[in-house]
Amino acid sequence: MRKKLIAGIGLALVAGLALSGCSARGTSGSDSASTEIKKGDLIGVALPAKTSQNWVLAGAAFEKSIEDAGFKADIQYANAGNPVPDQQSQISGMVTKGAKVVIIGAADGSQLGSQVKAAKAKGVTVIAWDRNILNTKDVDYYVAFNNYKVGQLQATALLDGLKAEKGSGPYNIELFAGSADDANATVFFNGAMSVLEPKIKDGTLKVTSGQETFQKVQTKGWLAQNAQSRMTDLLSQYYSGDTKLDGVLSPNDTLARAILTATKAAGKPNPVVTGQDSETASIPLIMKGTQYSTIYKNTTEEAQAAIDLVSTLAKGDKPDTKIDKTNNYNGVKTVPAIELTPILVTKENAVEAYKGNDTLEELAKKG
């Protein structure tokens, strides 16, 4: 098996070299070899629509880290109205312009197979960033936070918050997940459910609506209005009269605020609500105790990790990647990953957690 694999890689290498006429430096086990990367080369960064603040921050973070490392940047966002075809043509355009690396935060991780295949055929190094690219071997690396861990931390926060704020159980809760076209959404949800399921089974938690599968609790497009209207419907259908809603698993801050808007409009007491991203609009809510928790994933560090990886490849060195099937299996391949560690934030540790990030630290201190 191993022999076959090595032979396979060898063959692919030879084929890739024949095609690109280049050295094998930077090759990473995908079907085609990557062209050598040099300082001054063009790096394409294709980001999804700005559905949450982290994506807005990502553009600026990449611009700086790419320039500092001595490469040239081509950074593009998919248009919110038409993200998939838009991103597909942006990636093809980057390859045509001669990018040696494309870094992709996928709008839809399952819709980029032919674009990354074409990129690899030209020797381009393909890096999935923050979100994995699915069902293709033509992705060399994945740079992201440990997303399963994000889900586990969210669930742990929900349990802690319920205990701290809602007395002894059992607790009535509802579950929300992200958008099905984002490969992360199921990973967050599975991580969270690994912690919550035993508590649902033993009766500590009750999902009043009975909506417990990803299919039922997903939020199309990660859009606030979709979470808000689902929460409004759940409240009117399942929480009339005296039925209390104690907590909500929310996969990010944008959706957490939408959920809180719905519970407030329905005149319900503030439930314990989780989040993710440490968005500036959520920090004041966390400090006031309206939103219970968030997750800190430093976008600048995440962009820097991708560019450090490119610099390592440009030096001809082997990057220190991790094979982590739970987080990084894309349907056909566990993509070698640079995995960063997410931090759970509540009002108790916010000031400490945001040290070094002036904007967030100041917001946390303000309370």
Q: Which residues contribute to the site for ligand BGC (CB under 6 A)?
A: 51-52, 54-55, 130-131, 178, 182, 184, 222, 252, 276-277
Q: Are the C-beta atoms of 52 and 252 separated by less than 8 Å?
A: yes
The nearest distance, CB 204 to ligand BGC, in angstroms, is 27
The nearest distance, CB 54 to ligand BGC, in angstroms, is 5
The nearest distance, CB 285 to ligand BGC, in angstroms, is 16
The nearest distance, CB 138 to ligand BGC, in angstroms, is 20
The nearest distance, CB 292 to ligand BGC, in angstroms, is 17
Closer CB to ligand BGC, residue 43 or residue 106?
Answer: 106
For the record, the structure tokens of 59 come out as 């553009």
The nearest distance, CB 252 to ligand BGC, in angstroms, is 4
The nearest distance, CB 251 to ligand BGC, in angstroms, is 7
| Residue-by-residue DSSP string for 182-250 | SHHHHHHHHHHHHHHHHHHHTTSEEETT---SHHHH--GGG-HHHHHHHHHHHHHHH--TT----EEE-
Closer CB to ligand BGC, residue 276 or residue 328?
Answer: 276
Closer CB to ligand BGC, residue 54 or residue 298?
Answer: 54
For the record, the structure tokens of 365 come out as 């201190």
Phi-psi region of 360 (alpha: psi -120 to 50; beta: other; left: phi over 0): alpha
The amino acid present at 16, given as its one-letter code, is: G
| Residue-by-residue DSSP string for 59-110 | HHHHHHHHHHTT-EEEEEE--TTSHHHHHHHHHHHHHHTT-SEEEE--SSTT
- CA neighbor of 102 nearest in space, from 49, 43, 25, 143: 43
The nearest distance, CB 244 to ligand BGC, in angstroms, is 28
Closer CB to ligand BGC, residue 152 or residue 276?
Answer: 276
Residue 6 Cα distances to 18, 19, 125, 197, 313, angstroms: 18, 20, 20, 41, 21
- Please, which residues have CB within 8 angstroms of residue 187's CB and are 6 or more apart in sequence? 147, 148, 150, 151, 326, 327
Residue 45 β-bridge partners = 75, 103
Closer CB to ligand BGC, residue 9 or residue 80?
Answer: 80
Closer CB to ligand BGC, residue 258 or residue 313?
Answer: 258
- CA neighbor of 266 nearest in space, from 229, 318, 213, 218: 229
Closer CB to ligand BGC, residue 53 or residue 65?
Answer: 53
Closer CB to ligand BGC, residue 71 or residue 141?
Answer: 141
The nearest distance, CB 46 to ligand BGC, in angstroms, is 14
Q: Would you give the distance in Å from CA 26 to the centre of its chain?
A: 25
Closer CB to ligand BGC, residue 148 or residue 222?
Answer: 222
Q: Are the C-beta atoms of 262 and 342 separated by less than 8 Å?
A: no
